[in-house]
Structure 1
């Protein structure tokens, strides 16, 4: 009996100690976890300096180190982007603001970011999208997917055409578009994602104004479009070797006998060719401007380097001449008589010459 009580007492003490230890370990783990996810980290990636604040559930961008080129502020609670939100970080090239709660973007929100190349605004609730985004001089990639109300904003948006941003990738997937926005001419665009939108029409002329388009994603977007109304667009994709992505059922529709019987409008094809030619002309003009600018910068840089080198050469020659001039004078100063008799050797001569003059 005594032995039984001893065993029970020992087990009770062990269980209590284990529970205390477990709770302290759990508390310590939670404390470490909470302290780990409260501050933005600064790291280098792809030879660029970046700030990473993803998943911290912050409602505003904190004070960060200057000179950052990458800012990942995804998965937070940002509501608005004001002119002063990013004004301190003018060197940003890649900006990730996806999975926030952004509903409003001021027209000058990105005015301080002339080097911005990639902007991710996915998975927000954007109600107002300013035209100024499409005028950013370096913007190549724009992600607007999963903004279910953005079609209302773009429908009322008066875009300044042609768009100045050299967009190469544009993603407006799952944004509830019934008709695609008329962006005007986008000569640099290579990839266009319009998947998971309930489109009711597909205007081929819009794609002709994207004269370098290589890929368009139409997955789950053409179910509501009359089959024959897609004939011109699909024929244009095939004619220009544009890779268009569809789901299996839509591929079957486009390979059906019904689609083959749809008529092709030859007059409309001529209109598409004219639009395409204008786009190519604009692209060539932009390329020549960029080429001339690069040439001018190269020539200017070479000339500046030559002038700096020439001035440096003149300076070195001047230093050399000064050194050559000082050398004989220093040698003369260093010549001293060997002894005291040599110091006074010239005195009698001078005295003799003085007597001769006096007589």
Structure 2
């Protein structure tokens, strides 16, 4: 094969690759720049998108793996949608640079293990992981620092409520998992929870915990979305219900204390950022004023001034 033919083949392959990279459209919607890559036959996240995009929609492609640099080119992303992409593997530092991310949708994929850094993202509020293959091991020894409010874990392979510090979660969806029961301690550590979506039979427990859960749901005003209500079978043998209830309340108060401490930290950080910006602007304005003053002074130093003749000089002129 001649060098010319080989060059043409390589050029053709390069053009095909570039065409595949450039299939996405950029759309400005509600003030946010969106990269629309929906159903474009992509095999990976393109690297030629505008760097300032805030929303990435790559649904319905074939992207089996997210490598460490898949997202790092786009540090301003606030929303990522990767539903139905056949995603199986996510490298552990994939989202490390996504510090502005607020919504992450990885639903309808084949994910088994989650990178822990997802739960450390400082602004993540909504996380959709439903219809995957996630097991209990993904949440083992995990300390959540993200302010996640909406967490959808429905239709996975969980056998228990994830052992997470879910201080901020308002809505938790656990339907479609083989979870047999929920412990009262697990509810007590979710002190912001307002809606719990679970299987119909998850509270069908005739033990003492059923009565405690019933009291807690009423006291904390938590909406449980099930078609079958609690089926607590009397309190026979449950002489320590009140004591267990008080213990659970203590766990709840501990959770609320941690939540309040986190809010104070965020408020303090926000104030520090505000004052840093204010001081920075003040220094900039001062430097600008001083620069303007020095320039004027410098120009005035070298300004040519008219010299008025003295009286002695005028007498010398008259004598001449």
Give the TM-score normalised by structure 1. 0.73
Higher helix residue share: 1
**Contact 1:131-1:159 at 8 Å conserved across structures:** no
Tell me how far apart the structure 1 counterparts of residues 168 and 138 of structure 2 sit (CA, whole Å).
Answer: 25
Pick the aligned partner of 2:109 from 116, 124, 141. Answer: 124
Tell me how far apart the structure 1 counterparts of residues 235 and 203 of structure 2 sit (CA, whole Å).
Answer: 19
- SS of structure 2 residue aligned to 1:58: coil
Q: 1:348 to 1:156 in 2, by over 3 A?
A: closer
Larger radius of gyration: 1
Pick the aligned partner of 2:177 from 197, 201, 205. Answer: 197
> What does 1:56-95 correspond to in 2, within 5 Å?
56-63=40-47, 64-95=49-80
Shift of 1:320: 4.5
Tell me how far apart the structure 2 counterparts of residues 58 and 95 of structure 1 sit (CA, whole Å).
Answer: 15
- SS of structure 2 residue aligned to 1:150: coil
Q: 1:173 to 1:94 in 2, by over 3 A?
A: same
- SS of structure 2 residue aligned to 1:192: strand
**Contact 2:113-2:138 at 8 Å conserved across structures:** no
Pick the aligned partner of 1:300 from 276, 298, 303. Answer: 276
Counterpart in 2 of 1:282?
Answer: 258
Shift of 1:122: 0.5
**Contact 1:199-1:225 at 8 Å conserved across structures:** no
Shift of 1:62: 2.2
Shift of 1:208: 0.9
Give the TM-score normalised by structure 2. 0.81
**Contact 1:198-1:224 at 8 Å conserved across structures:** no
Shift of 1:90: 2.0
Q: 1:89 to 1:277 in 2, by over 3 A?
A: same
Which ranges in structure 2 are unaligned for 5 or more consecutive residues?
A: 1-18
Counterpart in 2 of 1:24?
Answer: none
Q: 1:145 to 1:259 in 2, by over 3 A?
A: same
Aligned residue pairs, count: 293
**Contact 1:138-1:165 at 8 Å conserved across structures:** yes
